[in-house]
Structure 1
Amino acid sequence: MSEEMDKKESCCSTHNCSSSKEPVNSIPEPAGCQDDCCKDTSTDQEHPAVSRSGQKNDYMVHGMDCPACALTIEKAVRSMEGVSQVQVNYSTGKMQVIAPNTLALAALPQTIKKLGYTLEPIQAKGKARVYNIEGMDCGSCARTIENHLKNVPSVSSVSVNFSTGKMTVEHDNSVEDIMKEVSKAGYKASLVSSRKQNVAHRTDRSGWNLVVLSGVFLALAFLGSYANMPPLWLNLLYALSIVIGGYKPAKSAFYALKSRSLDMNVLMTAAVLGAAAIGQWLEGATVVWLFALGNVLQTQSIEKTRNSIRSLMDLAPPEAWVKRGGEWVKKPVEEVSVGDVIVVKPGEKIPLDGEITVGESSVNQAPITGESIPVDKQAGDQVYAGTLNEHGTLEIHVTKLADDTAVAKIIRLVEEAQEQKAPTQAFVDKFAQIYTPIVFIGAILVMVFPPLFSFGTWGEWFYKGLELLVVACPCALVISTPVAIVSAIGNAAKNGVLIKGGAFLEIAGAVQAVAFDKTGTLTEGRPTVTQVIPMEGTEADLLSMARTMEEYSTHPIAQAVVQYADKQNIAAQPGTEYNNIVGKGVQAMIDHQIYYAGNVRLFEELNVPLVSVQNRVKELQEQGNTLVLVGTAKKLLGMIAVSDTIRETSAQALQDLKQVGVKEVIMLTGDNEGTARKIASETDVSRYFANLLPEDKVTAIKKVQAEGKTVAMVGDGINDAPALATADLGIAMGGAGTDTAMETADIVLMADNLEKLPHTIQLSRKALQVIKQNIWFSLIIKFVALILIFPDILTLWLAVLSDTGAALLVILNSMRLLRFKR
């Protein structure tokens, strides 16, 4: 076989074991496979629903208005008996709890409720269904429905969330039966499609209503002070403003203190109570109103960021026309099975992944792959849910269930990515945990020690201490990183790129060199035979012999030889004792004689005389051909020249990478020097490594890393798994068509080309820039606020404005990443 072929055929393909990043111990190891590539070197990966410490349970937490809320909830839940691990992600509004069983979490909803938040279990696959409930106007309504359904024998569990208007039920009877039972309780239920569970919640106006009402009383009192209103009435109006606007924060503060957490609610409530205690009613009411206003604006802004991913749920239609007998029946996509045939008319979105059986059309795949130009499709081609059928009616054989489509996997992977903390975020969180208690203690010391030593009045220093309490919460700093990361990951997803987490986003932003596998990445990966050169006999004899040996190989070059022979109507000869010679070629017994097909190295090791063809071999290789030599252990019978074509988008993508700041573009190939040089010149590659075995690609990556560069490796996610794992960042291409690519790489380009890679690198660099802007802005605002306290320039309301205003500006700055375009 050719040099390109033998480099691709690793020991993993020889032993039929996995070369992906999936744990090897999930696949039965073939007997006798002792190669290093087959040994389990993966990190311990638990089952997605179970950990060694217990069972994972996922929830949506509603009501969080700052990152400190997440920390408060984590501390409270972690202290519950039976809980081994808990993680709350403010950016996505999700919480994951690990406990031995669901019984250990029976008190969880009540615990969260005491903290001032509401909990919604995320539906697991199985019998659980989610319903919208209409007619509830208070929390007791939810309890009424729950108590009613608990008495229904076919219902095993029920949870009604008043704030979201949703109900999650595990039941054995029909959906219609559940709807009837809810109607008996006086309410109306409607089933929510599982794909749309996380679509943006209905706008909650209660926060705005409280802000407006609190503001009205504040304004009346402020105007009353100029109209000589009695002090008692003024204070009463201020008190009403404080109670209306500050009830929720005060309630949350109470439960935060019970869980020994110092969040913004605690600090703000203490500051307001202190202001009231020293008679600063106007200050206290202004602080509450600004804090409530800031929280509402922050919540709305962060919801827009969350909705950037939730909106992906709308890509695929909820129903499909399914062929049943001779009729077409409209069904929810969840009820469509693999093997069903669906029809999609012109202008409609494709509801499920499948293969076209009848019809031709152009399909706009931009929502999945990010490709701007529609792709022509015909019978036998794959199509994806969420893509648009532009013209022509298509009949599609369904190949994946609704939960397993490409778009479903995109949503699942992106949501998981948003919940992973980046290194910068982890550092900022640790800093905030130290900063807040230090400033809190400092505030107490400021209140006590200066007046104790007669450096001013108690009231004066008490007020300064209250200001320090407000400045103590690093909301803007804590929120600076996660919102930027969520926004960037959302932007990438909409452009057909999956970034698996904030850590990988940060690495992508720091990449200095990008290495590419040649075949299938820079080139089409579909080589064709260009010349057949027999030394003995005819071309037909040579092709027949080559086909006999190559038919059992799945390598692209082997298949090219077989396909060419097939087009020439040349059949294979009878053969036995087929064997793959790793890294060199193949062999077979034909007519009681062993024949070989492989690269030059194979025939050199067999000591076959090649002097007479050396010049011809060199000439063909310099023209960019890969050679398949055919012969016995004693003589060469002929050569077959095969070449690959460069992808149209590759050269432009590599130029764009250099424009966005990538210093070096590298090509890794198993091809000979001549072929590598030719491809490199046509694609503007900075540097190339030729004649590489699979393990040599790893060595090449390490060599570049040793030069002090951060290296990204781009491959197909399967054959290049070792190199992808070795690089600082693994990028797989063609994720829409291969599940393995989605699972193995750190970043996945859904399209089968490099078009979106420059956008991904530039987006990552922009995200790092935004994160740095946010962090520095937050720190400077805090520093300035701390300095202005002691010259009596800062007031309580200015301190609140600086804190909530800074947090809001940081969120808005991060949201720019949602609209970033290269």
Structure 2
Amino acid sequence: MTTTTPTKQEYRLQNLSCASCAAKFEKNVKAIPKVQDAQVNFGASKITVIGDISVDQIEEAGAFDGIKVSQSPTRSLEKSIPFYRKTENILAGISLLFVVLGYIFGAWRGETDPLPIGMFIIAILVGGMGIFKTGFRNLVKFEFDMKTLMTIAVIGAAIIGEWEEAAVVVFLFAVSEALEAYSMDKARQSIRQLMDIAPPTATIKRAHGEHFHEMELPTEQIEIGDILIVKPGQKIAMDGIVINGLSAVNQAAITGESIPVNKTIDDEVFAGTLNEEGALEIRVTKRVEDTTIAKIIHLVEEAQAEKAPSQQFVDRFAKYYTPAIMIVALLVAVIPPLFVGDWQHWIYQGLAVLVVGCPCALVVSTPVAIVTAIGNAARQGVLIKGGIHLEQLGHIEAVAFDKTGTLTKGQPAVTDIYTAEELSQDYVLQLVAAVEKQSQHPLAKAILKKLHDEKLTELIPTDFQSVTGKGAYATVDKQIIYVGSLKWIATLAAVDEKITEQVKKLQKQGKTVVAAVSNDRFIGMIGIADQLRQESKDVLSKLSALKVKHTVMLTGDAEPTAQAIATSLNMTDVRASLLPADKLMAIKDLRTEFGAVAMVGDGVNDAPALASANVGIAMGGAGADAALETADIALMGDDLTKLPYTIGLSRKTLRIIKENIIFALALKLIALLLVIPGWLTLWIAIFADMGATLLVVFNSLRLIKTKK
């Protein structure tokens, strides 16, 4: 007997208006027969369903909120309906018209006249029909959300003859919902902008027999191996390798780099980047769903779905908060009139408590801030893979750095050239470069780069031989040139004490020495070192300004090399000659000493340490799948200056979340205290609820402006 695996499908949602609506929608979908599980991503406005289900069934589950569902590909997104064209907003406008008419007729014919009351009733029905439908349905099921509380409050107000206030409350509630939906849409634009980065179609050349045919295709139909033709000013539609052409490519959309990068044959390019100058031909290496931008979009959306600790706390709190408010409202409506009479006044007060006690502002306080911060970071070239990592980064007390490729460029360069007195530096460099030309060693590449930078002529070597573990030799310019470690070179020619002292001096500075002999005569030596990133020192001082207590270098390099780099950076804690397992132990020790620790590395060699740290941060995530997978945060453009920005953003997010929770609870508490003297009105209640929600949302949107 064979069992079929249940299908997992993602659907895009429109009109998902609030966090509590999202929770209810998820519950409704889970209740559908044949659905095994469902998860709503409020920030990304989508739902993932495991099971057999149709779009109609999902829309039926979200009918209470007017949710529309589309099974669109990850890259595309339906354009949002303008604010003024949304049905609920039009109805709110009509409701306002009848409220105004009610006041005009009330002033003319008196508040108790049937005409103004009729206007207020029309305003209530037009503006509140959607609210009441959901409210009654929830009431039958004993589900108490804001719409249920509003329905009870409006019906209660109508029963005790407060038609005017009931109409105004319905209108204000409609306005608050419209503004909340608008601001959430603003927060979601970070994903919408990411989705719009890569063009939906592209011109390609595809082989047909012996000939190539040019055609324009949707990116979903482009295959690996197709040749992409990109003209100046066009966006690159797919990830690939340049096979023809030279151009400057603006990669800001992927890496956050503001300066265009020169691309030539064999260079990697990414979908969504802008070709600025020359024409390029690019061999496609990834399908549209596997491109770097597609992965970024997916990871940003998943990050927004993952609940941060503060959000989990708020969700748990709201679960008990709403029933507690209902009990308080009931007590306010029943207890005081037993002693002082005036049932109508205290029932009215109880209804106002119901409205003011709605947990909307509290529920939305965290997700809006998280969604906005993660979206902002993605636009700056920083990929944060979850609200939990964003929050943890805000608590970091110590940061550990890998050396090579993180604090340094990871590319050795020639720093010193010493020669026998009668020989020029240029000639010795040419001789050594001729031997090293045949080698694949990183030090050889540094020597050849120096030769090309100095625009010197390449000499031709013959009879090249490599000596394992020692060096190499070849015939160059009619002499046998030996190049290698000083220990080996010293066995081939006399090396005086002055040269030995100079070598020790270079090694103390963390430099590697390559020595050279011509036939049997010492001719010179070259000092090579990994180059410090220009920004490293500035980054460390910014971390100190951000109150990061401790920074440490963890490296596999020898002590002198590590110490030399640390000295130039004014770092006091250096741990050298570490294997991956040693780095892991070092992180565990740091966690014991400081609590929360971040590790910054290249995402491949440092995987165990990255995983063990509270927050693992990978350098250069663009195009590096390992970095995207192993780290909690990826700095896409290999730019260390984004580290202080990211820590600053996380701390600002934590501060805003705390402010939001305080705003949400304080405003409601102040309004609830007005019950004691009996001053709370439905107007004040709805303003307190609406004010708290809008304050929280607009406070969160300040994170959009956070820049590097």
Interval of TM-score (by shorter of Structure 1 and Structure 2): 0.7 to 0.9
- CA deviations 1:541-579 (Å, max 9, x no partner) are x9999999x97xxx967987999999985877699xx9x
The alpha carbon displacement at 1:598 in A equals: 11
- CA deviations 1:385-444 (Å, max 9, x no partner) are 221222122222222222222111111111111111100011011101111111112212
Q: Match of 1:85, as an amino acid? A: D
- CA deviations 1:658-711 (Å, max 9, x no partner) are 333323222111112221121112234352211211111112212221212421
Q: Match of 2:624, as an amino acid? A: T
2:317 aligns with 431
Is 1:497–2:382 an aligned residue pair? yes
Is 1:292–2:204 an aligned residue pair? no
Is 1:118–2:67 an aligned residue pair? yes
User: After superposition, where does 1:311-326 map in structure 2 within 5 Å?
Assistant: 311-324=193-206, 325=211
Unaligned runs of 5+ in 1: 1-50, 125-193, 534-538, 579-584, 588-596, 601-612, 630-638
* 1:195 pairs with one of 75, 83, 89: 75
The alpha carbon displacement at 1:64 in A equals: 3.5
Secondary structure of the residue aligned to 2:557 is coil
Task: Flag the 1:351–1:71 CA change in 2: closer, same or farther, 3 A.
Answer: closer
Is 1:93–2:42 an aligned residue pair? no
* 1:227 pairs with one of 80, 86, 108: 108
Q: Greater CA deviation, 322-331 or 429-438?
A: 322-331
- CA deviations 1:266-314 (Å, max 9, x no partner) are 0011100100011110111111000001111111111111122111122
Secondary structure of the residue aligned to 1:87 is strand
Task: Flag the 1:752–1:91 CA change in 2: closer, same or farther, 3 A.
Answer: closer
Secondary structure of the residue aligned to 1:346 is coil
Secondary structure of the residue aligned to 2:565 is helix
The alpha carbon displacement at 1:747 in A equals: 0.4
Asked if structure 2 preserves the Cα contact closer than 8 Å seen for 1:199 and 1:311, the reply is no
How far apart are the structure 1 equivalents of 2:49 and 2:535?
45
Q: Match of 2:276, as an amino acid? A: E
1:65 aligns with 17
Asked if structure 2 preserves the Cα contact closer than 8 Å seen for 1:72 and 1:256, the reply is no
User: After superposition, where does 1:688-699 map in structure 2 within 5 Å?
Assistant: 688-699=574-585
* 1:680 pairs with one of 537, 549, 566: 566
* 2:539 pairs with one of 633, 636, 653: 653
Asked if structure 2 preserves the Cα contact closer than 8 Å seen for 1:417 and 1:500, the reply is yes
- CA deviations 1:442-474 (Å, max 9, x no partner) are 2123222333x3332221221111011112211
Q: Match of 2:22, as an amino acid? A: A
User: After superposition, where does 1:383-462 map in structure 2 within 5 Å?
Assistant: 383-451=269-337, 453-462=338-347
Q: Greater CA deviation, 742-751 or 245-254?
A: 245-254
How far apart are the structure 2 equivalents of 1:116 and 1:814?
24
Task: Flag the 1:681–1:570 CA change in 2: closer, same or farther, 3 A.
Answer: farther
Q: Match of 1:793, as an amino acid? A: W
Q: Match of 2:559, as an amino acid? A: E
The alpha carbon displacement at 1:258 in A equals: 4.8
Asked if structure 2 preserves the Cα contact closer than 8 Å seen for 1:654 and 1:684, the reply is no
How far apart are the structure 1 equivalents of 2:336 and 2:286?
71
TM-score, normalised to structure 2, is 0.84
Asked if structure 2 preserves the Cα contact closer than 8 Å seen for 1:724 and 1:730, the reply is yes
Task: Flag the 1:61–1:704 CA change in 2: closer, same or farther, 3 A.
Answer: same
Is 1:371–2:251 an aligned residue pair? no
The alpha carbon displacement at 1:198 in A equals: 5.2
Asked if structure 1 preserves the Cα contact closer than 8 Å seen for 2:433 and 2:444, the reply is no
Secondary structure of the residue aligned to 2:203 is strand
Asked if structure 1 preserves the Cα contact closer than 8 Å seen for 2:556 and 2:578, the reply is yes
Asked if structure 1 preserves the Cα contact closer than 8 Å seen for 2:43 and 2:301, the reply is no
Asked if structure 2 preserves the Cα contact closer than 8 Å seen for 1:76 and 1:259, the reply is no
How far apart are the structure 2 equivalents of 1:202 and 1:599?
73
The alpha carbon displacement at 1:797 in A equals: 1.6
Task: Flag the 1:658–1:686 CA change in 2: closer, same or farther, 3 A.
Answer: farther
2:639 aligns with 753
1:512 aligns with 397
How far apart are the structure 2 equivalents of 1:53 and 1:446?
54
Secondary structure of the residue aligned to 1:648 is coil
* 2:650 pairs with one of 739, 742, 764: 764
Task: Flag the 1:420–1:358 CA change in 2: closer, same or farther, 3 A.
Answer: same
User: After superposition, where does 1:84-233 map in structure 2 within 5 Å?
Assistant: 84-99=36-51, 101-102=52-53, 107-113=57-63, 115-123=64-72, 195-197=75-77, 200-201=80-81, 204-228=85-109, 231-233=113-115
Q: Greater CA deviation, 753-762 or 497-506?
A: 753-762
The alpha carbon displacement at 1:528 in A equals: 5.1
Asked if structure 1 preserves the Cα contact closer than 8 Å seen for 2:304 and 2:386, the reply is yes
How far apart are the structure 2 equivalents of 1:283 and 1:102?
44
Asked if structure 1 preserves the Cα contact closer than 8 Å seen for 2:136 and 2:151, the reply is no
How far apart are the structure 2 equivalents of 1:681 and 1:343?
49
Q: Match of 1:221, as an amino acid? A: G
User: After superposition, where does 1:601-620 map in structure 2 within 5 Å?
Assistant: 619-620=505-506
The alpha carbon displacement at 1:820 in A equals: 1.4
How far apart are the structure 2 equivalents of 1:599 and 1:77?
73
How far apart are the structure 2 equivalents of 1:624 and 1:781?
60
How far apart are the structure 2 equivalents of 1:571 and 1:710?
57
Asked if structure 1 preserves the Cα contact closer than 8 Å seen for 2:357 and 2:689, the reply is no
Is 1:306–2:191 an aligned residue pair? no
The alpha carbon displacement at 1:792 in A equals: 2.2
The alpha carbon displacement at 1:642 in A equals: 5.0
The alpha carbon displacement at 1:491 in A equals: 0.6
- What is the aligned-residue identity percentage? 46
Asked if structure 1 preserves the Cα contact closer than 8 Å seen for 2:399 and 2:550, the reply is yes
Task: Flag the 1:446–1:514 CA change in 2: closer, same or farther, 3 A.
Answer: same
User: After superposition, where does 1:430-579 map in structure 2 within 5 Å?
Assistant: 430-451=316-337, 453-527=338-412, 569=461
The alpha carbon displacement at 1:618 in A equals: 5.2
How far apart are the structure 1 equivalents of 2:44 and 2:364?
12
Asked if structure 2 preserves the Cα contact closer than 8 Å seen for 1:621 and 1:672, the reply is no
How far apart are the structure 2 equivalents of 1:273 and 1:341?
67
How far apart are the structure 2 equivalents of 1:511 and 1:599?
45
Task: Flag the 1:224–1:652 CA change in 2: closer, same or farther, 3 A.
Answer: same
Asked if structure 2 preserves the Cα contact closer than 8 Å seen for 1:544 and 1:571, the reply is no
Secondary structure of the residue aligned to 2:532 is coil
Asked if structure 2 preserves the Cα contact closer than 8 Å seen for 1:89 and 1:95, the reply is yes
Secondary structure of the residue aligned to 2:16 is coil
Q: Greater CA deviation, 705-714 or 424-433?
A: 705-714
Task: Flag the 1:754–1:331 CA change in 2: closer, same or farther, 3 A.
Answer: same
The alpha carbon displacement at 1:478 in A equals: 1.1
Secondary structure of the residue aligned to 2:410 is coil
Secondary structure of the residue aligned to 1:96 is strand
2:156 aligns with 274
How far apart are the structure 1 equivalents of 2:228 and 2:107?
73
2:609 aligns with 723
Secondary structure of the residue aligned to 2:539 is helix
Is 1:797–2:677 an aligned residue pair? no
Task: Flag the 1:216–1:530 CA change in 2: closer, same or farther, 3 A.
Answer: closer
Secondary structure of the residue aligned to 1:821 is coil
Unaligned runs of 5+ in 2: 419-428, 452-457, 472-483, 488-498, 516-524
How far apart are the structure 2 equivalents of 1:783 and 1:567?
83
How far apart are the structure 2 equivalents of 1:399 and 1:242?
59
1:663 aligns with 549
